[in-house]
Every structure is written in C-alpha cells, then in structure tokens.
Amino acid sequence: MLQRWQQELAAGQEPMSDQAFYRLVRRHGRLAGEDEARSVTRQVFASLAAGLDERLVGRLVRCLPPTPAADLDHHRRLGPAAPDTGLDRELFIGPLVNAMDTVGRYDETLGGMDLVTAYLDDDAAMRTQAVFVAVKACCGAALVADLHEALPPEIADWFREARRS
C-alpha cells in the first residue's frame, strides 16, 4: 500500500530537489550537514551500483534529483557489468565505513590509533537506511518493490524498514 507521501508524489507533485533529498538523509542519518549527507549517499550508491542490475540502477537514476542521480550514474559506470552476487552486508557497508571517522586518539600502549570502528556497525546501518528513506521518497511503488526484490537479503530488510519519520 502506498504511503501518503508516495501518493502525493504519484499525484504529480514537483520532483524532489537536491536539498530536499539530502535533508532527508541528514535527518534520518543524524548527520552534521549536507556535505556529510552527500558523502554518505555517494558511498551507499557505490554499493547499490555494485549489487544491482545495470538497468535497475538506470531506472533509479532517472527518479533521483540531479546531484544524487549524477553520483549514482558515476558509480554505475564504475561498477561491474552484471550485479555482483557475492555482495553481502559487510561488503555493502564497506565503502560507507571507509568514509566514516573510525579512529580516536593516539593509543597509549602500542603507538597506534584507538579504533572506534567496532561500534560503527549500527551507525552504518542507520546511515544506509537514511539514504534508503530518501531513495524511496523519489521512487514509485513499482520501483521500490523491484529494488527490494533485487537487494541482498539483509540489505533488503534495511530497505523495507527504512521509513520516513
């Protein structure tokens, strides 16, 4: 069943702007600003482009506001020709965690850096879902269903549960 905002969109509302898209990502991902929202979006798109069929990615590109669309299209060109069937949760969040703050201060014992990555699992999931909220806000119900169907199982769960608050 379509949610109210999806019905409004389907009824011919104005396409979403870049700012509105990143505002959604920022709010749901509890991010500091638009720059961070764009960075998070780019990383999630890198994984989407690797794990989804090129035509499906193309359909998604056409639904997105200009800047996110250009970023996803960029990753579509870099990604494999066929969806990578080995993509799982860890590989999906890899690019995102790679771009997060993962170390703290100098470690006091071994001369290395204190790592905080161990605690970032939930953060990565929340940020991924924040992008999914914005993506779903741009797509019609048919594309949402197709994306859900095509994503690896655990990522599909995150996608299904990503809801606008």
Partner 1 sequence: MGVERRAKKGEANGLTVRAFHSPVRPTWCPGCGDFGILSALKKAFVELERHPHEIMIVSGIGCGSKLPDYIHANGFMTIHGRPLAVATGIALANPDLELLVVNGDGDAYGIGGNHFLHTCRRNIKLTHIVENNQIYALTKGQYSPTSDQGFQTTTSPDGAPEQPINPTHVAFAAGATFIARTFAGDPNHMVATFVAGMRHPGYALIDVLQPCVTFNKVNTYDWYRERLAYMDADDGYDPRDRVQAGEIVQEWGQRIPVGILYRNDEIPTYSERVPALKHGPPARIALPHLEVATFDELKGAFV
What does the binding site for partner 1 look like in residue numbers (CB under 8 A)?
43, 46, 50, 78-80, 82, 84-88, 90-91, 93-99, 102-103, 106-107, 110-115, 117-118, 120-121, 124
Question: Helix (H, G, I), strand (E, B), or coil: what is residue 101?
Answer: coil
Closest approach, Cβ 137 to partner 1, in A, equals 25
The smaller minimum CB distance to partner 1, of residues 18 and 84, is found at 84
Whole-number Å distance between alpha carbons of 111 and 119: 21
Whole-number Å distance between alpha carbons of 147 and 81: 17
The smaller minimum CB distance to partner 1, of residues 96 and 144, is found at 96
Closest approach, Cβ 85 to partner 1, in A, equals 6
Question: Helix (H, G, I), strand (E, B), or coil: what is residue 105?
Answer: strand
The smaller minimum CB distance to partner 1, of residues 6 and 47, is found at 47
Neighbours of 161 (CB within 10 A): 11
Closest approach, Cβ 94 to partner 1, in A, equals 4
Asked whether the beta carbons of 27 and 134 are under 8 A apart, the reply is no
How buried is 157 (Cβ within 10 angstroms: 0-12 exposed, 13-18 middle, 19+ buried)? middle
The smaller minimum CB distance to partner 1, of residues 49 and 63, is found at 49
Closest approach, Cβ 117 to partner 1, in A, equals 4
The smaller minimum CB distance to partner 1, of residues 26 and 42, is found at 42
Which among 60, 122, 76, 70 is positioned nearest to 96, based on CA atoms?
122
Closest approach, Cβ 29 to partner 1, in A, equals 16
